[in-house]
Amino acid sequence: MREAHQDAVGRVDQQRLWQRHAEMAQIGAIPGNGVNRAALSAEDIAARKLLISWAQARNFSIGVDDIGNLFVRREGLDPAAPPVMTGSHMDSQPRGGRFDGMFGVLAGFEALEAIDDAGVKTQRAIEVVAWTNEEGGRFPPCTMGSAVYTGQRPLADFLDVRDNEGIVLRDALAATLAATPQATRREFNSPAAAYVEAHIEQGPLLENANKTIGVVTGIQGLRWFNIEVFGKTDHAGTTPLALRQDALRDAVAIINALHELTRDAADTVRFTVGRMLVTPNSTNSVASHVLFSVDLRHPDPATIDRLGKAVEPLAVKTAQQCRVRVTPTLHNNPCVFDPLIVGAVENAARELGLPNMRLASGASHDANYMARICPSGMIFVPCEKGVSHNEAENAKPEDLAAGAKVLAATLLELANR
């Protein structure tokens, strides 16, 4: 590693990084040390404003695109050269942790600050991006901002999505964009030389293997669906079961059939129903409509394809009394990261003498979409017992700093190629 780069990496400040996590965790704080910072909410806007205030103090430039992806840029010697990008997301699950996503944004910012403190000039600009709506908790599907930025989905696909309170994404997005006028508007899909995302592992492998750095090789495949069951509401006390069109009864039967479909002795398939809306949602009225989510994942392309294709016919066949509508909302095949980036991350970890191992990601990330437009990869750090999407999510300051150092070294290497 070049001497100037060593100096910059050495300036990654563990206390400053930890303190920034603490400040951000106050935004949307919930009991148990967690956060609830839904995409395009007042809390999301507050986090964006705080990041912008830090960036302005450094004279980094600030950009935003039409879906609200927020870019912090440190200029390079060649402003026309495609930048090296890093980042992650600041939105969280409803009962989320303070590190999921936020670590990737703050590690990227910490790397920029350390490089700035060292006065290192890079050939290419380096950009930290905070992607809009990575979680998809409020406005499904997930990784929405990066899907639109990379041209995989048009913005128009998502503008009319509503949250559980009936608020439409179009309005929440307009309010979010209006809240940060200091960000210069920029195009989708501007060229990038490389993308490296730092994230907590959200699994137990690194902690169990006593490794500090995960050199991520790829992300498993993912399918999301909304399944709707259309019945008829009736009196719970007087309507014979034989005459009912009970949407909740059929929904339960469909969910049980999908559990059978995805039963896996190796416990590799990930099948989750996490969201359900019942109408009229009253104890003594038969349900007339149910909407529930399906989140299906597997690392093998053929398996995720086979299971994904089986969902709709099985749901329709299983329903006894009601009409069913299955709407696919996300279709990501397993992605494999570019060996160039995987190697750069692994070399950086080795040069820094950090115990590391290669692993694939069970969680989905914006890197999945960036990998379609430029060489991409990820850096994992351990989180306590692998717990995530839970307010108990925890990580060690020294592991976060180690991840930020590997990120800084990797970005410097890529920004001077």
Binding partner at 183 among ligand HGY, Mn ion, none, C-beta below 5 to 8 Å by kind: none
Residue whose CB is less far from Mn ion, 90 or 247: 90
Residue whose CB is less far from ligand HGY, 120 or 330: 330
Long-range contacts, 175-182 (Cβ 8 Å, 24+): 175/40, 175/45, 176/40, 176/44, 176/45, 176/48, 176/68, 176/132, 177/64, 177/66, 177/68, 179/45, 179/48, 179/49, 180/45, 180/48, 180/49, 180/52, 180/62, 180/64, 180/70, 182/52, 182/56, 182/62
Residue whose CB is less far from ligand HGY, 142 or 254: 142
Binding mask 125-164 for ligand HGY (x = CB under 6 A): ---------xx------x----------------------
Binding mask 73-112 for ligand HGY (x = CB under 6 A): ----------------------------------------
Binding to ligand HGY, residues 240-299 (CB under 6 A): none
Report which DSSP code applies to 411.
Answer: H
Under rule CB under 6 A, how many of the chain's residues touch ligand HGY? 5
Residue 148 CA to residue 191 CA, distance in Å, equals 14
* 413 contributes a contact to ligand HGY by CB under 6 A: no
Pairing of strands 34-35, 29-30: antiparallel
Residue whose CB is less far from ligand HGY, 110 or 134: 134
Whole-angstrom CA distances from 352 to 213, 250, 337, 402, 410 are 11, 56, 22, 9, 11
Smallest separation (angstroms) from ligand HGY to the CB of 91: 9
Residue 126 CA to residue 297 CA, distance in Å, equals 32
* 363 contributes a contact to ligand HGY by CB under 6 A: yes
Q: Quote the tokens at residue 379.
A: 């850096």
Smallest separation (angstroms) from ligand HGY to the CB of 139: 13
> What length is written for the chain?
417
Binding partner at 382 among Mn ion, ligand HGY, none, C-beta below 5 to 8 Å by kind: none
Residue whose CB is less far from Mn ion, 83 or 101: 101
**Sign of the dihedral through C-alpha 409, 413, 414, 416:** positive
Smallest separation (angstroms) from ligand HGY to the CB of 367: 11
Binding partner at 399 among Mn ion, ligand HGY, none, C-beta below 5 to 8 Å by kind: none
Smallest separation (angstroms) from ligand HGY to the CB of 297: 8
Smallest separation (angstroms) from Mn ion to the CB of 106: 13
Residue whose CB is less far from Mn ion, 100 or 113: 100
3-state secondary structure 155-181: HHHCCCCECCCCCEHHHHHHHHHHHCC
Cβ(257)–Cβ(269) under 8 Å? no
Smallest separation (angstroms) from ligand HGY to the CB of 93: 8
Binding site for Mn ion (CB under 5 A): 100-101
Residue whose CB is less far from Mn ion, 35 or 120: 35
Residue whose CB is less far from Mn ion, 76 or 403: 403
Distance of CA 146 to the CA centre of its chain: 9
Beta bridge mates, 37: none
Residues near ligand HGY (CB under 6 A) are 134-135, 142, 363-364
